[in-house]
Amino acid sequence: MKSYTILRTDYGIDTKNTSSANLTWGDRMMNDFHKKLLAKADWPFLHRLRTATTVASTTFVNLPYDVDQVESVFVTVSGTRYNPKPAPSRAFWDKLHYSTVTSDTPEYWFVYNGQIGLWPRPSSSSNTISLNSKVKPIDLNTADITGSTITTLANGSAALTVSAGLTAQMVGFWIRPTYSTVANTGDGQWYELSAVASGTLGTLVRNYGGVSIAAGTAASTIAQMPLLPEAYHGLPEQYASYRYWMKEKDTRAAGFKEMVNEGVSDLFRSYGFNDLSMVLDDGDDRGIINPNLTISL
């Protein structure tokens, strides 16, 4: 895994220029390339579960900050899961609201102006709205947080307690309990955060697989990662380094260009297949990448 901090450090090393101005320029190049690459296909690794909560007598609530497209919705009320249908159009949605109807049994949902609406209007607060969504990349800009310790994290559980430092914006960030053979320390693996309830309470996407930490002070790192699969985390930094050496008219640009083109081609071969036909079949039992959907430097 290569966090934003690691990518920024690598960029300074690869360009042999650690000035603040150059690192800031590298940040911009990395983020531009990261967003451009993620926009090239309907990547399976961009689809995540996000949640919101109902507010009594309120039709619309804000979408989670990183939701780009909502694909399906279910609402949990007192242990019962309801699956409302998407409103097919704004005109249809508006017709539903000719009169006020209130109920905790949702029939339709509609996304508008960064909010998710339910019809009928919810009658109760705090019911969970689960959103199967495609997330959008945000700028890689948050340095690794190393001052927080893990106090509770049980084997086989997704519930996490830390000393401090969690914020709601860290959904999608990753946390690594530092590996050590000392009691009450972690397994050294990275775990993605699926929810943050407070500055000390969070939930992991996958259950923790290491030795349980109880009443501990286990050192940890909280980090912002690219939305790419782990094997391709280095691509934004390699592209930024390519742009640097190209700007300097240095022959080292060619080496970074080759690394980026090879990495992008491998990414499409590994993940670029879906209903949008990102991979074409020539009938010869091997995939051919659509050249219109790759990035060539």
Burial of 60 (0-12, 13-18, 19+ CB in 10 A): middle
**Ramachandran category for residue 218: left, alpha or beta (phi over 0 → left; psi -120 to 50 → alpha):** beta
Residue 276 has pLDDT above 50, yes or no: no
CA distance 59 to 83: 16
pLDDT digits (tens, 9 = 90+) for 79-137: 999 999 999 999 999 999 998 999 999 999 999 999 999 999 999 999 999 999 999 99
Q: Per-domain residue ranges for the chain? A: 46-135, 143-223
CB 295 within 8 A of CB 264: yes
Residue 179: beta bridge partners? 186
| pLDDT on residue 290 | 57
pLDDT digits (tens, 9 = 90+) for 34-62: 999 999 998 999 998 889 999 999 999 99
CA distance 148 to 162: 7
Residue 47: beta bridge partners? 134
CA distance 244 to 246: 5
CATH number of 143-223: 2.40.30
pLDDT digits (tens, 9 = 90+) for 202-211: 999 999 998 8
| pLDDT on residue 33 | 97
Tokens of 132: 């199967």
| pLDDT on residue 216 | 74
Residue 288 has pLDDT above 80, yes or no: no
pLDDT digits (tens, 9 = 90+) for 246-273: 999 999 999 999 999 999 999 999 998 6
pLDDT digits (tens, 9 = 90+) for 141-199: 999 999 889 999 999 999 999 999 999 889 889 999 988 777 767 889 999 998 899 99
Residue 293 has pLDDT above 70, yes or no: no
| pLDDT on residue 284 | 47
| pLDDT on residue 280 | 41
Query: Around 296, how many Cα atoms within 13 Å sit in the side-chain half-sphere?
Result: 6
pLDDT digits (tens, 9 = 90+) for 224-249: 999 999 999 999 999 999 999 999 99
| pLDDT on residue 281 | 42
How many angstroms from the chain centroid is the CA of residue 276? 21
Tokens of 82: 């309801």
| pLDDT on residue 245 | 98
Q: How confident is the model at residue 275 (pLDDT cuts 50, 70, 90)?
A: very low
